[in-house]
Each structure stands twice: as C-alpha cells, then as structure tokens.
Structure 1
C-alpha cells in the first residue's frame, strides 16, 4: 500500500471534537474530517466543494502517533457585547452571525473555551481506499506546493515546518507509521510510550475508541461515528 507520511509540528494544533455550547474540545489524535479539510485546502478546494470533500473523507485511511508529548492548552476568548459596535451581534458560527437580542445576553460578555495541543509533534500515515480523484499522487503534489496556506485544525494553528515527509510503501497505515523513525523533537518531551491510533482492521489495540469525526459537508455539521484502535505503537525503524 502507498502511504503518505505527514508531520504536524506546530506551537498549537487542534483536532476538533464534539462542541458543547461554547466549549470547543479537541480529540487526542487527528480526525477524519480535519484531515479531509486540510487536504482539500492544499488542493485549493473550499466549502462549496462539498461532494469532493465528502468523497475524499470517505476514502481516507490513517494512523497517527505522538512523537513529542503535547500539553493541553485552553484558550479562553471573550468579547464585550456591550460596546456600541457589538450591540445585537455575537461571533459567527457555522457561517451565520450569532444575534443577541434582548436581556442580559445582548450586552454581556460572550465567552468561548477552545482547547489546543501545545508544543507537540504528531506523525500521520495516510492512504486512500478505492479509486478515483484525487489520487495519492495528487495529494502528495498538493502538500508539496499547497494552493493556500495550511493550518492544523484551526486557522491560528500554523505549522512550524513542511507537513509532508514523503511517500512510503507498507502493508497498511499502521505498519507505515511503525516503520517511520521518530521525529527530531529537540528539547521537547518524548512520551514514555508512543501513543497511537489506527484502523480497527489493521490490528487490535489496548482499547477501541468511537469518535464522531465524520463531517456532513453538505449541511456543515459533524455527523457519523468511526471506531478506531488505540494503544502504544512499537516503532520498528
């Protein structure tokens, strides 16, 4: 199987879990929708390309690990809606303005809590199931020369180094990830074991994790669960 090796090395990154009210958590590992969005951005697609994004998401196969242990950082964001130019409005969510009309909500402080991973390095092995466009070669070219600036989960999460490491041959994405040497992480902390996530059909893990990391791109909502194996990965490189 042909696999692309990606490396996420950034001061901050976020892997968007299920949002509850104004709390925006992050998954421990990258998710299917997040990877589809990143690749679509590299290809020059936007949110109007819903059929392409949906098809790409459905074909993705990936495994991910942490090479440098990240720290959870919660970004507390506020805006004072009492200021004259903010009266009646809030922030934008899912492409629509959040209106605040009447009561204390119209003039109070609007709050959000957004989780990020700080100072970590994650490595991802990625492949495509089935045939069609884009091909893995298309994704490789797009990551070498992306159509737009790339970010890892959220727009402020800019990579500190090129994301693409290279093309590898392996029996599966888990095997490709295990065969890839650990990243040079400098003074950052190496985990005592290498935590990882991979497809269930590529071997059991210490546990099974079910995540709602599939996006309905047409309706711009997360919908659909995926089960993964999680555990410590033995590096064979």
Structure 2
C-alpha cells in the first residue's frame, strides 16, 4: 500500500462546535468535525471569501481525513440559548475586520431571534488529513502554513470557539488515515472516525459503518451529500503522557 503524507491538526479549545444537521433554530453538534467545517476552517485561514464557492468545493472534494477524540468532554456539553432583538441598522463582528450590517425595513426585525446552540466543553480532537490529488493547489504544505499564519482569525466551528493551542501539528507518513492517527500518542484506546477504505472495516476496533451527512454544496450554501465512514477506536503505537 502506498505511503501518504498526512497533516496533523490539533483541535482544542474551551468551547468547540462540530455542527450536525440543524433543524429550525436548534444547532446540534456531533462528536467529530465535518468535512464542510474543515473546508471552512482552511478557507478562512487562506483568506477566501464565501463567494468563491468553486475554491471551497474543490478543496472539500479533495479532503481525506480521520479524527480522534483525545479528551472527552470532562465538563459535558454547554447549551447556549440565544435571544436577540435586532434592528435594521445593527451591525455585527466579522472575522475580516469590518462590521457586517443588515438590510431590510424596520418591520423585518420586529420579532426577537431565538436560537439554541450546543458546544463541546474542554474537549481535544486530533485530525490526520491529506489531499487527493496531492499536487494540486493549494497543497498540504500551503494548508499547514495557513494554519500558522492565517489571513483571518480562526475559530473551531463557531465564532466564539477560539483555539487554545497551535493547530498545526506537523506531518507524518502512513498508508491510511487510521495508521496516521496511530502515529500520534494518546492515552489508551480513543474513539475515532475514518473514511471507509482508510482503515479497518471489521474487527474489535470497528463499532459501526454509517452514512455521514457532512458534505456541503458550496454553490447553494446547503448541505446535501453523505460519505461512508467507520466509527471505532484507535490505540496509538506510542502511549501519551
């Protein structure tokens, strides 16, 4: 089996949000980051704008990654219930340094906006990621450099989720995403997710194989795709501290 170069990404923060399928104003979370979330993270680091949907779509289609929960939520899940009365001239903070306004008449904002958002508290997740094809632009080295010198401030899932450590964890060489995660130390067997074909598909390490709806259509801005992934456990070749 051919060897590949994998970028290791450490996601750790007081709050993180790996968004699932949102229904109405309820923003649920999953245990692992979505393909679309990682695409948005890199696009933000590279300085792309949302209108550049072709770049986003191409990058998303190239991502191959596995994720491992190195620290579960010791404090559980935080649920934030938001109630905001917005006026037509209110402005909000953005990651590109300019306040964002809203358009519409006065009557448009007569009712309060109500939302519920869940967050992982004090969790830690390690990702092993490569690009397929490997030599198109941006390459994996460009992604690593963008994480260290992002064009805009980075957040993990939602704007309040600021990283508490360096995201770029360097590179490893391994034949599969599962094998790449095994190169990174951790304590005991940790829950993990990897694409079908990028690790074991049966045995004690495998819990289930599912269709995961985490693919975004960047032209329309809607989620509308699934991929087959394996949920199971990974035990690192070198134990963590």
Fold agreement, TM-score > 0.5 = yes
Measured on the aligned residues, the alpha-carbon RMSD in Å equals 2.5
Q: Does 1:150 align with 2:154?
A: yes
Q: 1:194 to 1:127 in 2, by over 3 A?
A: same
TM-score normalised by L of structure 1: 0.84
Aligned residues: 218
Match of 1:199 among 191, 195, 202: 195
Q: How does 1:159-174 map to 2 (within 5 A)?
A: 159-174=163-178
1:30 is displaced (CA, Å) by 0.6
Structure 1: 5+ residue stretches without partners: 183-189
Scaled by the length of structure 2, what TM-score is found? 0.83
Classify 1:99/1:9 alpha carbon distance in 2 versus 1 (closer, same or farther; 3 Å).
farther
- For residues 27 and 161 of structure 1, the distance between their equivalents in structure 2, rounded to whole angstroms, comes to 21
| Partner in structure 1 of residue 96 of structure 2 | none
Paired position in structure 1 for 2:214: 213
Spell out structure 1 runs of 4+ moving beyond 4 A. 95-102
Which ranges in structure 2 are unaligned for 5 or more consecutive residues? 93-100
- Whether the 8 Å CA contact 2:88–2:103 is kept in 1: the answer is no
Query: Which residue of structure 1 aligns with residue 79 of structure 2?
Result: 74
CA distance in 1, matches of 2:20, 2:107: 29
Question: 1:79-228 counterparts in 2 under 5 A?
Answer: 79-80=84-85, 85=87, 106-107=110-111, 109-130=112-133, 131-182=135-186, 193-202=189-198, 203-204=200-201, 205-228=206-229
Task: State the match for 1:25 in structure 2.
Answer: 28
Q: Deviations over 1:188-224 (max 9, x none)?
A: xx7x741100011022121013221111111111111
Q: Which residue pairs with 1:51 in the alignment?
A: 54
